């Protein structure tokens, strides 16, 4: 067939990129070669529209053991000779089309990134976004995604310990499914994703056989979701968690044979990606016989084998002469293991099929940081920001009946208990969780074999980012750090999943650039370098883009897991202190957006330096054992933080609002840099003296009670009643809708 610019465009390459490929090859590519460039130069693999700005993020720190982009995931030192490996990635588009497999394979793929580096995954988290919960499409997507995450994680044997979920109309067509995995390894035992540069070393394909599922997945992830996207169903992979469990054990066993030169999972873009990236990293090439690749289907073509994203597969380069040691391990685990080629020293990838050369391309020209194009996109201030500037809080009257408002607020899906989701996940498999009995703001897991704890969280309030991309991204980093600090941890670093609309839209690109700048500034302040992550563009529908959603996955460390801090009040009579200052601020709150229907308002109050000082104070209070609980103020404001602190022990509270701010702002506003703590009366003076010495604003808000909720001397009922509303809100909302059927499918 004749290869033209039209052929390239059908493969989601531009005419200019097609001409560039011809220059790099010195000839017109054949179809198989063009497919290779299509996959590797997709946004998903090359970051061609984002790499310029990603390079501005802080990517070095004293705890960093592997710099961002060097390996499959980030690696940071936790002390005692061990490191933590972690990463977050998106599987948005597959989940929009086939929610169960889309979410399941997202979980499987991110776990492979962890054990490819030689670490055993010990915890999983997620960050999910859907449309309006009462709509049947949302219920279908929600049921499928939750089932997929739970099925894969539970079968694979890694606990899902934390996450977040939001419901906003802008995610109706294009949900977001971001999966995070965390593992631990001994320092110095990391496996690199390199082919090395020793000519003649054998290349092995190991794991599940290759089929046609997932072909073109990387390109599919780099396109808009439309009504016709269901026709791209082959781009959705099919996962097998039991096969991955065997692959995990086999790979960790092979590492101990000392036969490995390098290893990389076959994720996005499959064989072409793993061969290209491993070769380029080693400054080498590969000669591959595609007919030796184990196949699930007969008569697969060369380009199908190269682009398939079938799951549970790895590419390994082995030292020549040690082949049998590798084969023996995979034979033990009853997994396919085939020697499919060898390392060369000419920098070329040569793919043969039954002895016929099907494609020959330079590895370096395919990869990020090599020959893949890098673009600078134009950006302009979004027009809607003018609407945001017009918001006048004085136009919102303070309600006379605040209790009724609180009842409505606690039943909003973004605030209410997500137990109907997390009950589908096994949080205890592996017996590594340390945060089950008493809740913390971050999930706490044990970093075995040490007694250190890892504090894990995913955070992003995308409405804040929509209102102010720079400040909103800073808040996402700050809240992640605050959650870890309130749990007794010290923040180490972040991984990010940057979910945005079409980068060719100047207003979308403005959101992206400003979010990167805000994220970078906050990461520098908290000394939490970016270890890696994922960019997911084209998250939009014909109705427009989703909210800009730069999800932050953060890891912190506790020197002793037994010293964790929990969010629950401990005893009646303890004093409740609000650390941080109350603000006359209802901006971008759930209260304003959901109960008053205000779409355009500024981001809530936030000052980076105030947040930094606040977190230092919380750290000292916990280290000196001066407080009994700590819970940050976030969605739903002070009232939600207080009742959530009551639920675990069925205690109550008696508080008075701050007369200097409007009552709805005090109770329901979402101004940042505030933490609710409880203190025994014996330690109250010490706490106050410490806060005064640090010049931290605080307010003695009230006391913990035996179970009643009292605000400004008004009885708001028992905590048990509020807990019932909180726990049952989502189930009640779905009752009478298709949601009952959706829930039964979980």
* Six token digits for residue 265: 């999972």
State how far Cα 690 lies from the chain centre.
36
R_g of the chain, CA atoms, integer Å: 26
Provide φ and ψ at 342, rounded to 5°: -150, 160
Question: Which residues neighbour 423 within 8 Å (Cβ) at sequence distance 6 or greater?
Answer: none
End-to-end CA distance of the chain: 48
**CA angle, 729 then 671 then 386, to 5°:** 100
Question: Which residues neighbour 149 within 8 Å (Cβ) at sequence distance 6 or greater?
Answer: 103, 104, 106, 107, 124, 126, 160, 179, 424, 425
91 is catalytic: yes
**CA angle, 19 then 23 then 27, to 5°:** 95
Q: Give the residue among 378, 379, 350, 375 at the shortest CA–CA distance from 279.
A: 350
Distance CA 160, CA 739 (A): 23
State how far Cα 514 lies from the chain centre.
19
E-assigned strand segments in 542-696: 544-545, 549-558, 575-579, 629-632, 652-655, 675-679
* Six token digits for residue 658: 């701050």
Distance CA 459, CA 76 (A): 20
Distance CA 68, CA 710 (A): 50
Distance CA 87, CA 494 (A): 8
Distance CA 573, CA 32 (A): 73
Helical ranges in 181-296 per DSSP H: 217-220, 241-255, 270-282
Q: Which of 44, 93, 147, 490 is catalytic?
A: 44
- Look at the block and give the residue holding tokens 């070329």: 348
Q: How many residues does the chain have?
A: 746
- Look at the block and give the residue holding tokens 């970078």: 520
* Six token digits for residue 374: 């890098």
Collapsed DSSP state (helix, strand, coil) of residue 201: coil
Collapsed DSSP state (helix, strand, coil) of residue 676: strand
Say which DSSP state 167 is in.
E
Write the Ramachandran bin of 392: left for phi over 0, alpha for psi from -120 to 50, otherwise beta: beta
Q: How many CB atoms lie within 10 A of CB 549?
A: 32
Q: Which residues of 320-349 are buried (b: 16+ CB within 10 A; e: fewer)?
A: eebbebbbebbeebebbbbbbbbbbeebbb
Using the Cα atoms of residue 400, residue 403, residue 408 and residue 412 in order, give the sign of their dihedral.
positive
Q: Give the residue among 479, 470, 443, 536 at the shortest CA–CA distance from 176.
A: 536
Residue 160 β-bridge partners: 124
Collapsed DSSP state (helix, strand, coil) of residue 460: coil
Q: Which of 91, 151, 593, 631 is catalytic?
A: 91
- Cα–Cα distances (Å) from 661 to 126, 589, 598, 665, in that order, read 36, 16, 20, 7
Collapsed DSSP state (helix, strand, coil) of residue 626: coil
Q: Find out whether 11 and 219 touch, Cβ atoms under 8 Å.
A: yes
**Active centre residues (catalytic):** 44, 91
């Amino acid at each position: 067939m004749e290869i033209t610019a039209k052929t390239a465009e059908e493969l989601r390459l531009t005419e200019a990129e097609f001409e560039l490929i011809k220059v790099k090859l010195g000839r017109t590519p054949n179809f198989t070669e063009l497919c290779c460039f299509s996959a590797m130069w997709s946004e998903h693999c090359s970051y061609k529209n984002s790499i310029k700005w990603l390079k501005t993020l802080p990517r070095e720190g004293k705890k960093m053991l592997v710099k961002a982009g060097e390996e499959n995931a980030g690696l940071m030192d936790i002390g005692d000779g061990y490191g933590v490996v972690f990463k977050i990635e998106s599987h948005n588009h597959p989940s929009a089309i086939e929610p169960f497999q889309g979410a399941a394979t997202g979980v499987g793929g991110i776990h492979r990134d962890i054990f490819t580096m030689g670490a055993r995954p010990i915890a999983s988290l997620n960050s999910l976004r859907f449309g309006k919960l009462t709509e049947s499409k949302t219920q279908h997507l929600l049921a499928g995604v939750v089932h997929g995450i739970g099925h894969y994680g539970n079968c694979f044997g890694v606990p899902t310990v934390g996450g977040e979920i939001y419901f906003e109309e802008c995610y109706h067509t294009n949900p977001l499914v971001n999966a995070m995995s965390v593992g631990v390894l001994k320092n110095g035992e990391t496996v690199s994703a390199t082919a090395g540069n020793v000519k003649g070393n054998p290349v092995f394909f190991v794991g599940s056989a290759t089929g046609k599922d997932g072909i073109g997945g990387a390109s599919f992830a780099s396109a808009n979701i439309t009504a016709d996207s269901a026709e791209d169903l082959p781009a959705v992979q099919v996962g097998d968690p039991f096969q991955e469990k065997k692959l995990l054990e086999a790979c960790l066993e092979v590492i101990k044979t000392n036969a490995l030169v390098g290893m990389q999972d076959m994720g996005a873009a499959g064989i072409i990606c793993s061969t290209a990236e491993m070769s380029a990293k080693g400054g080498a090439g590969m000669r591959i016989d595609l007919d030796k690749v184990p196949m699930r289907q007969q008569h697969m073509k060369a380009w199908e084998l190269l682009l398939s994203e079938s799951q549970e597969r790895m590419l390994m380069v082995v030292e020549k002469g040690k082949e049998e040691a590798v084969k023996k391990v995979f034979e033990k685990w009853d997994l396919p293991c085939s020697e499919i080629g060898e390392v060369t020293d000419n920098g070329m990838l040569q793919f043969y099929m039954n002895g016929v050369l099907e494609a020959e391309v330079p590895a370096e020209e395919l990869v990020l940081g090599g020959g893949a194009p890098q673009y600078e996109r134009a950006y302009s201030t979004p027009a809607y920001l003018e609407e945001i500037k017009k918001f006048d809080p004085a136009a919102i009257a303070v309600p006379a009946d605040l209790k009724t408002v609180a009842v409505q607020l606690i039943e909003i899906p973004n605030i209410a208990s997500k137990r109907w989701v997390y009950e589908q996940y096994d949080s205890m498999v592996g017996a590594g969780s340390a945060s089950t009995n008493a809740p913390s703001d971050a999930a706490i897991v044990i970093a075995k074999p040490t007694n250190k704890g890892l504090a894990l969280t995913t955070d992003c309030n995308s409405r804040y980012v929509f209102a102010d991309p720079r400040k909103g991204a800073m808040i996402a980093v700050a809240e992640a750090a605050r959650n870890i600090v309130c749990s007794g941890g010290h923040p180490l670093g972040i991984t990010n999943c940057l979910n945005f609309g079409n980068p060719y839209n100047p207003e979308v690109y403005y959101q992206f650039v400003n979010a990167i700048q805000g994220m970078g500034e906050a990461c520098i302040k908290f000394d939490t370098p970016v270890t890696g992550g994922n960019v997911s563009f084209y998250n939009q529908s014909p109705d427009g883009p989703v909210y800009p959603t730069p999800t932050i996955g953060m890891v912190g460390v506790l020197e002793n897991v037994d010293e964790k801090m929990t969010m629950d009040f401990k005893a009646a009579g303890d004093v409740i202190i609000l650390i941080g200052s109350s603000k006359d601020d209802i901006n971008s709150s759930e209260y304003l957006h959901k109960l008053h229907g205000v779409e355009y308002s500024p981001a809530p109050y936030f000052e980076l330096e105030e947040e930094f000082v606040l977190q230092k104070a919380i750290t000292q209070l916990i280290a000196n054992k001066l407080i009994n609980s700590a819970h940050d103020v976030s969605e739903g404001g002070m009232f939600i933080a207080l009742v959530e602190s009551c639920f675990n022990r069925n205690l109550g509270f008696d508080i008075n609002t701050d007369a200097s701010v409007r009552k709805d702002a005090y109770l329901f506003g979402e101004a940042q840099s505030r933490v609710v703590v409880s203190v025994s009366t014996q330690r109250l003076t010490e706490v106050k003296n410490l806060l005064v010495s640090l010049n931290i604003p605080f307010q003695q808000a009230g006391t913990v009670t035996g179970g009643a909720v009292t605000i400004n001397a008004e009885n708001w009922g028992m905590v048990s009643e509020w807990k019932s509303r909180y726990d049952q809100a989502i189930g009640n909302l779905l009752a009478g809708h298709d949601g009952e059927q959706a829930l039964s499918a979980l």
